[in-house]
Amino acid sequence: MSKLLFNAGSKMCFCMVAAVLSAPLLFSACSNPQSGGTFTDPRDGKKYRTVRIGNLTWMAQNLNYQTSNSWCYGSNASNCARYGRLYTWNAAMNACPSGWRLPAREDWYKLVEAAGGGNVAGKKLKASSPDWNGTDECGFSALPGGYRSTNGSFSDAGNYGLWWSATEYGSGSAWSRGLFSDYDFVDEDGYGKGNGFSVVCVR
């Protein structure tokens, strides 16, 4: 099985791997997510859908709050409106509004488990057609915002979604989660903090 891997430094690479890093397959708790809420960021007035999954409330849209070291995909403002901004890890750690935070690695584990485990959770977390190719059973509505590498290039919007966690993976990298158009699993890897990935906030 092929998947996209990023090393913990400044470069990105495509690698072939046989195993999928995932949580065990569990009963899905996403059959009755408590969605329909909204949150308005008082800093800029942008409104976000929210969803309650387990004991956590997640933003059901990628964050689109402008900070230093954050970008619209391809430097195109329309991509910010659609996919949210891409943040370095340091920027992501301070990007969520008051009362919200960047999800820790453990928060992502709980979300993936609630969606049935890492091998199938991706399909349930991804937005449904026409926005992406998931079923959105959890109301999480993940969108494939792509990424920005440390050399300033943008790649794979519309195909990949990559999100930071607040948990470090060594001094120069941090854990992230990834969703892909071609697969139903949820990826986990440690990536260099200078890459630009999407952010969802949790409380």
Query: What are the residue ranges of helices labelled H in 29-155?
Result: 77-83, 89-92, 105-114, 121-125
Q: End-to-end distance of the chain based on CA atoms, in angstroms?
A: 35
Report the domain count for the chain. Answer: 1
Residue 101 lies in a domain: yes
**Cα–Cα distance measured from residue 89 to residue 173, given in angstroms and rounded to the nearest whole number:** 8
- Digit-by-digit pLDDT tens for the chain (203 residues) are 333 444 434 334 433 232 333 333 333 457 566 767 999 999 999 999 999 999 999 999 999 999 999 999 999 999 999 999 999 999 999 999 999 999 999 999 999 999 999 789 999 999 999 999 999 999 999 999 999 999 999 999 999 999 999 999 989 999 999 999 999 999 999 999 999 999 999 99
| pTM reported for the whole predicted model | 0.85
Burial 66-84 (b: 16+ CB within 10 A, else e): eeebbbbbeeeeebbebbb
Q: How far is CA 153 from the centre of its chain?
A: 19
Tell me if 202 is assigned to some domain: no
| CA–CA dist 118, 111 (Å, integer) | 10
d(CA 115, CA 23): 10
Q: Which domain holds residue 181?
A: 2-192
The answer as to whether 200 is a domain residue is: no
* Chain centroid to CA 116: 17
Residue 199 lies in a domain: no
Q: In this predicted structure, what is the pLDDT of residue 36?
A: 74
| 197 within some domain | no
- Does residue 169 fall inside a structural domain? yes
